[in-house]
Structure 1
Amino acid sequence: MEFQTIRVNESGGVTRIVMNRPEVMNALSARMRRELIAAFDGARGRAIVLTGEGRAFCSGQDLQDASDVQAVDFERILAEEYVPLLSRITGAPVPVIAAVNGVAAGAGANLALACDVVIAAETASFIQAFTRIGLIPDAGGTHWLPRQIGLARAMGAALFAEKIPARQAADWGMIWEAVPEAGFEAHVAARAAHLAAGPTLAYAALRQALRGSFEQDLDGALAQEARLQGECGASADFREGLAAFLEKRAPRFRGG
């Protein structure tokens, strides 16, 4: 696919996907959703970074992306376009970092929260803007928010639709970290390089275990944990990690 709304590059084992509609704050059009799905399907890096061009990460659903905005079939769009995109993010075989460079609003905020790690510039913010136009949080918002920040904060964020600065989001546990804008890109690059050099199989297993933990009781979680640890313990990455530990050197993981 020839990309028109995003840019993709691969370097040093990292796939970098950039939403590239800065004139509309990277609003999610139907074409952008298709292109993002294609980009995740085609990613070959050992880590993926999702970010936005310009002053925004993503302002959410492009409400101008229809001839008759009032006739938009949100149920169909969510089921047929957002669910496949979110499944590409959560089901990616490698860790996914959301590098939130600016405002992340509506579906754009929840696109970020679907990623494994959210790193935001301190000047960035998150807005569950849906009630401002008579909607509810979507694109996974009703799932991620209460799990990450608790019901009380999730309810307030959704009902009042107020801006949550990146530092507050980090303090709440909504995101991993908020870092100074100066050096933000270099910091994200270093984080992505760290993951790209890590044990890919173990990363995949721990993501599966942690993401599935809310749907399991303790017995189920322990059984899954044992099964996944067995797979990791039989891997070349574990053998290399153990050898590096004993030899007091940095490991050279290859994946598998």
Structure 2
Amino acid sequence: MAAPVLVERDGGVLVITLNRPDKLNSFNDAMQEALRGALTIAETEAEIRAVLLTGAGRGFCAGQDLGDRNMSGDGPPPDLRETIGTHYNPLIRRLKALPKPVIAAVNGVAAGAGANIALACDIVLAAESAKFIQAFSKIGLVPDCGGTWSLPHLVGLARAKALAMLAVPVPAAQAEEWGMIWKAVPDAELMDQARTLAAEMAAAPTFGLGLIKQAIEAAGDNTLDQQLDLEREMQGRAGRSPDYAEGVSAFMAKRRPAFSGLPPQEETRQGETTQGDEA
């Protein structure tokens, strides 16, 4: 039986492939568990400095595997609050909190939870044949995996409501035009472009990228004054990192920088002390 998630280390990139192609990579419990394990690798291994998430076969992810539900009427309906609280909400929170860039390579249909998991990634590339579908209303449900938050932020209130209520597919080119994703690319070029981008991100100043990610995520809830204060604090942290020193040195010497991705030494020591205290 094939593993529900494939994990590949490609230099500093962790390539995670959802691997239930016969089910359009829809989620069951085994895939959820395997994806949690893959993200733990990304979180704990310092040499991993970027994540690339994609799907096997002709689809990215069709959301929850509805065939995994007992809807026969013989018993109580499934507790979707438990499913979301146990699986999907922690997944989105981990993607957002990971202090490393996460790139989605959407190779085909991304529907339901699959669409919103892709939109939770930091940079989304999609094959021109790919489509994003908020399929929830077709079965009487509400978008989850942060869809009701990400859609209004990405495409505005009017489009978000229409997409969620009508469940119409959004082709990749339209998604790019609307600002829902970063770029639509020819199908044959998707994985080459995605791997190149992921490798570029893995060679970048990882600590600084993590701060950028955190700052932009905070902007939606902050006032301008709060965001200015946050930028001041984060710039202070970034300015103490070895990558800032390396970046300036490389700029002055007109050479390519060799970033380590490491945080400032005092933050490393603090993290080690905290782990030791917890142990």
TM-score by structure 2 length?
0.89
- Tell me if the contact between 1:149 and 1:173 (Cα under 8 Å) persists in the aligned partners: yes
Other structure's SS at 1:119 match:
strand
What are the Cα deviations for residues 146-192 of structure 1, in whole angstroms up to 9, with x where unaligned? Answer: 00100011011111100100000000000011011122111101100
The 5-angstrom pairing of residues 132-143 of structure 1 reads: 132-143=138-149
Task: Establish whether residue 213 from structure 1 lines up as the match of residue 219 from structure 2.
Answer: yes
1:8 maps to 7
Task: Establish whether residue 18 from structure 1 lines up as the match of residue 17 from structure 2.
Answer: yes
Other structure's SS at 2:68 match:
coil
Match of 1:26, as an amino acid?
N
The 5-angstrom pairing of residues 1-256 of structure 1 reads: 4-43=3-42, 44=45, 45-68=48-71, 71-256=77-262
5+ long unaligned stretches in structure 2: 263-279
What are the Cα deviations for residues 68-99 of structure 1, in whole angstroms up to 9, with x where unaligned? Answer: 46611111111111111111111112100011
Bigger radius of gyration, 1 or 2?
2
Shift of 1:3: 8.2
- Tell me if the contact between 2:99 and 2:211 (Cα under 8 Å) persists in the aligned partners: no
TM-score by structure 1 length?
0.97
2:273 maps to none
- Tell me if the contact between 2:99 and 2:213 (Cα under 8 Å) persists in the aligned partners: no
Using the alignment, how far apart are the partners of 2:35 and 2:93 within structure 1? 12
Match of 1:119, as an amino acid?
L
Other structure's SS at 1:215 match:
coil
Shift of 1:116: 0.6
5+ long unaligned stretches in structure 1: none
Shift of 1:67: 3.3
Structure 1 runs of 4+ aligned residues shifted over 3 Å read 67-70
Using the alignment, how far apart are the partners of 2:72 and 2:129 within structure 1? 31
**RMSD between superposed Cα atoms in Å:** 1.3
Other structure's SS at 1:49 match:
strand
Using the alignment, how far apart are the partners of 1:3 and 1:87 within structure 2? 27
Match of 2:13, as an amino acid?
V
User: In structure 2, do the counterparts of structure 1 residues 80 and 69 end up closer, same or farther at CA, with 3 Å as the change threshold?
Assistant: farther
Percent of aligned pairs with the same residue?
47
